[in-house]
Amino acid sequence: MPVEKRNPIPVSEAIHRVVSQDIKTEGTHMNIYESEGYILSEDIEATYDIPRFNKSPYDGFAIRSEDSQGASGDNRIAFKVIDHIGAGTVSQKTLGENEAVRIMTGAEIPKGADAVVMLEQTTETDEGFTLRKSFKHLENIALKGEETTTGDIVLKKGQYINAGAVAVLATFGYVDVPVYRKPSVAIIATGSELLDIDAPLEPGKIRNSNGPMIHALCRKEGLEATVYKIQKDDFESSLNVVKQALSEHDIVVTTGGVSVGDFDYLPDIYREIDAEVLFNKVAMRPGSVTTVAVHGNQYLFGLSGNPSACYSGFELFLKPALYHMMGAEKFYPAMVRATLMEDFKKPNPFTRFIRANVKMTGREMTVSPSGFNKSGAVVSIAHSNGMIVLPSGTRGFEKGHQVDVILTASDAFQEELYL
């Protein structure tokens, strides 16, 4: 069979093709305790003001500010305490002249009061306390609606639900949160050289590290992922497993078998199932043979078998597709600019992605390759929290140059504290 001619497309074009598919998951509801990491499927409106009432930000005394005018060290003004309230209770009293209510953090300001005196600013007396300074109208009061007023959109449809969003949802009484369903993922490692993790090593064979790695990447996004049996480089059986995976999952990820070698059967499989191939060659290193296809409402990601390429393929294509499917308003990789800490003189005929460690050094964002970095490398992936992006057609990067970096970390920690 003649070797198929493939035209590489730019990475950005490839990503755009992936996210311009009209493939979306439907809306559903998740219990609030399970909702973190989902995408909201409706705007969330404030159904009341936050704070709901004027409240005290401190433990102290609610007073009428007018009564404190003229107070000084030489002219202490005395207040009589007429009530004592904790958070969650409301005083039934209305303050009169030189009266005060002992109040705790979070408690509603009683009627008549318009300022809060912190406990530390008072000197106790038999009937109450004295003050040595005057207070302004509304001093030390958390005002009703100062954060949010009724009708404000506090969370937007398409927003990623983080812990803060969970707090907002709880504030407005959502037990069941409207979200988009997460797609399920089938993972199929292909290659006659592959062994299961627990199999003894044999000559010419390697263990399947991509399957577990993709599974871990899916887990990180909270996705349900099923790892299928390793597939030998055999057209018939691989085709059957891909068909089975398509009948059971929204996304099918294969690794390996997308090149133009004699035993690379994925292209034939896409043809056989009538999948629409969005691209099968990307101007990037590693992973130029990465293939993405769609089959009805489903995506097929044909990632390269090379571990680094496989990893980059997930970050560059699968993640944006995933969040786009889930209706997220943001789905492109987060990027920063950092100072390169090592020379990288090699030319970059295609856009190059280098697994890297990005961190704050001194007061500067810096980045270094995270180890041996050929496309087959595994260990450097483990030590990376980002990927350096060197544009195609460039060469001769040196220590000190500024480079773009895609952030991939789930462990956003570093060795030193810069606070």
Residues contributing to the site for ligand AMP (CB under 6 A): 189, 191, 193-194, 206, 208-211, 255-259, 261, 304-307, 376
**Residue 241 C-beta: closest distance to ligand AMP, Å:** 14
- # of chain residues touching Mg ion (CB under 5 A): 4
Name the minimum Å distance from CB 233 to ligand AMP: 8
Q: Cα separation of 209 and 201, whole Å?
A: 13
Helices (H) and strands (E) in the chain, counts: 8, 24
Task: Work out how close the CB of 231 gets to ligand AMP at its nearest, in angstroms, rounded to a whole number.
Answer: 10
CB-count exposure of residue 124 (10 Å: 0-12, 13-18, 19+)? exposed
Choose the one of Mg ion, ligand AMP, none that binds residue 379, judging by a C-beta under 5 to 8 angstroms depending on kind. Answer: none
- Give the DSSP H or E segment for 154: strand 153-155
- The residue (of 205 and 243) whose beta carbon lies closer to ligand AMP is 205
Q: What is the pattern of x (binds Mg ion, CB under 5 A) and - over residues 279-318?
A: --------------------------x-------------
Query: How far lies 338's CA from each of 16, 284, 343, 403, in Å?
Result: 25, 21, 14, 6
Residue range at the interface with Mg ion (CB under 5 A); choices 151-159, 191-199, 284-292, 366-374: 191-199
Does the N-terminal peptide bond of residue 110 adopt cis geometry, omega within 30 degrees of 0?
no
Q: Among residues 71 and 195, whose Cβ is nearest to ligand AMP? A: 195
Choice between 108 and 233, CB closer to Mg ion? 233
| Contact yes or no for 330/395 (Cβ under 8 A) | no
Choices 30-38, 203-211, 257-265, 281-289; region in contact with Mg ion by CB under 5 A = 257-265
Nearer to ligand AMP, 155 or 289 (CB): 289
Cβ-based nearer residue to Mg ion, 187 or 388: 187
CB-CB contact of 283 with 264 (8 Å): no
351-361 and 364-369 beta bridge pairing: antiparallel
Residue 40 contacts residue 178 (beta carbons within 8 Å)? yes
Q: How far apart are CA 294 and CA 292, in angstroms?
A: 7
**Measured at CB, which residue is nearest to ligand AMP?**
305
Q: Pick what 278 binds: ligand AMP, Mg ion, none; C-beta below 5 to 8 Å, kind-dependent.
A: none
- Residue 181, sorted as left (phi over 0), alpha (psi -120 to 50) or beta, turns out to be beta
- Residue 206 or 360: the one with the smaller Cβ distance to ligand AMP is 206
**211 touches which of ligand AMP, Mg ion, none (CB within 5 to 8 A by kind)?**
ligand AMP
Cα angle 220, 222, 225 (rounded to 5 degrees) comes to 90
Q: Under the criterion CB under 5 A, does residue 191 sit at the interface with Mg ion?
A: yes
Query: Shortest Cβ distance from residue 213 to ligand AMP (Å)?
Result: 8
DSSP code per residue over 105-134: TTPBPPBT--EEEEGGGEEE-SSEEEESS-
- Taking CB within 5 to 8 Å according to partner kind, which of ligand AMP, Mg ion, none is near residue 178? none
Stretch that binds Mg ion, among 249-257, 282-290, 291-299, 338-346 (CB under 5 A): 249-257
| CB-CB neighbours of 304 under 10 Å | 26
In the list 110, 256, 267, 313, the residue contacting Mg ion (rule: CB under 5 A) is: 256
Q: Whose Cβ is closer to ligand AMP: residue 91's or residue 259's? A: 259
Which two tokens mark 62? 């609610």
Smallest separation (angstroms) from ligand AMP to the CB of 409: 23
Task: Determine if residue 271 is left, alpha or beta; phi over 0 gives left, psi from -120 to 50 gives alpha, anything else beta.
Answer: alpha
Q: Which is nearer to ligand AMP, 27 or 376 (CB)?
A: 376
Q: Which is nearer to Mg ion, 206 or 360 (CB)?
A: 206
At its nearest, how many Å lie between ligand AMP and the CB of residue 261? 6
H or E element: which one contains 180? strand 176-180
Q: Which is nearer to ligand AMP, 223 or 253 (CB)?
A: 253
Q: Are strands 27-31 and 44-45 parallel, antiparallel or unpaired?
A: unpaired
Cβ(258)–Cβ(304) under 8 Å?
A: yes
Q: Residue 371 CB, nearest distance to ligand AMP (Å)?
A: 17
Residue 210 interacts with which of ligand AMP, Mg ion, none, CB < 5 to 8 Å by class: ligand AMP
Residues that bind Mg ion (CB under 5 A): 191, 256-257, 305
